[in-house]
Amino acid sequence: MKKILLTFIAIISLPITQLAQNQIICSEKEQIIKDSPDPRIIKSCTFENFKSVSKGDADYKGRYSYSYKLLKLINNRYVEIKNSELFNENKKELLAIINQKIKETYDEYSNNSETKDCFDGFTFTEVSFDDLRISFNDTGIDFSISFGLSGACLSVDGTIISIELAEIKVYLNKN
């Protein structure tokens, strides 16, 4: 009976172990900045041998702007990589999906009577992976982009495309 119980536990544990290896683990901390009323926000997430780090700094109105880095674990050290290095040979297909979603947001904003003035003189151009700001979240990957609009139009100056891990795994590098 003991042998059957141990075998049952081993069978149940295998999927849980595999699931744990495919999790995204995130942490966020605040860093006090001298002479600033607002802290810097640092969020880091790891997935397999990749890590994303985003740092947010507030402007004089308390609005946060973020910088992003992607890293890969190589020889027990995280080394910064290009965004495109996160993805495998199917990345062109993924980029087409992302560009389509960005264009949908752009079209929505540029055709909305309340926001279309912000887009006068701007045209949508497709982006490359290295134009995107990429970060992991608890359930997948966020791709964000700024359209490059002026300060008065910050509320519509870009979009975030979130793709769940289950959907995007087919595009990720395994190594």
Q: Which two tokens stand for residue 133?
A: 């700001």
Any domain includes 2: no
Q: State the virtual CA torsion across 57, 46, 164, 103 in degrees, nearest 10.
A: 40
User: For residues 13 and 34, which has the higher predicted lDDT (pLDDT)?
Assistant: 34
Residues spanned by the domain of 143? 24-171
Any domain includes 119: yes
Any domain includes 13: no
- Inter-CA distances, 63 with 69, 115, 118, 150, 163, Å: 20, 20, 19, 14, 25
Write down the pLDDT at residue 154. Answer: 85
Q: What is the pLDDT of residues 141-152, one digit of tens each?
A: 999 999 988 778
State yes or no: pLDDT of 15 exceeds 60.
Answer: no
Any domain includes 128: yes
**Structural domains in the chain (count):** 1
Any domain includes 141: yes
∠ CA 154-155-158, nearest 5°, is 75
Write down the pLDDT at residue 159. Answer: 94
User: For residues 69 and 13, which has the higher predicted lDDT (pLDDT)?
Assistant: 69
Any domain includes 19: no
pTM of the model: 0.81
State the CB neighbour count (10 A cutoff) for residue 41: 16
Residues 83-87, mean pLDDT to the nearest whole number: 95
State yes or no: pLDDT of 14 exceeds 70.
Answer: no
Q: What is the pLDDT of residues 28-84, one digit of tens each?
A: 999 998 888 999 999 999 999 999 999 999 988 888 889 999 999 999 999 999 999
Query: Beta strands 77-81 and 64-74: pairing type?
Result: antiparallel
Q: What is the pLDDT of residues 99-137, one digit of tens each?
A: 999 999 999 999 999 999 999 988 899 999 999 999 999
Contact 71, 51 (CB under 8 A): yes
State yes or no: pLDDT of 140 exceeds 70.
Answer: yes
State yes or no: pLDDT of 18 exceeds 50.
Answer: no
User: Which of 1-5, 79-83, 142-146, 168-172 shows the lowest per-residue confidence on average (mean pLDDT)?
Assistant: 1-5
Any domain includes 41: yes
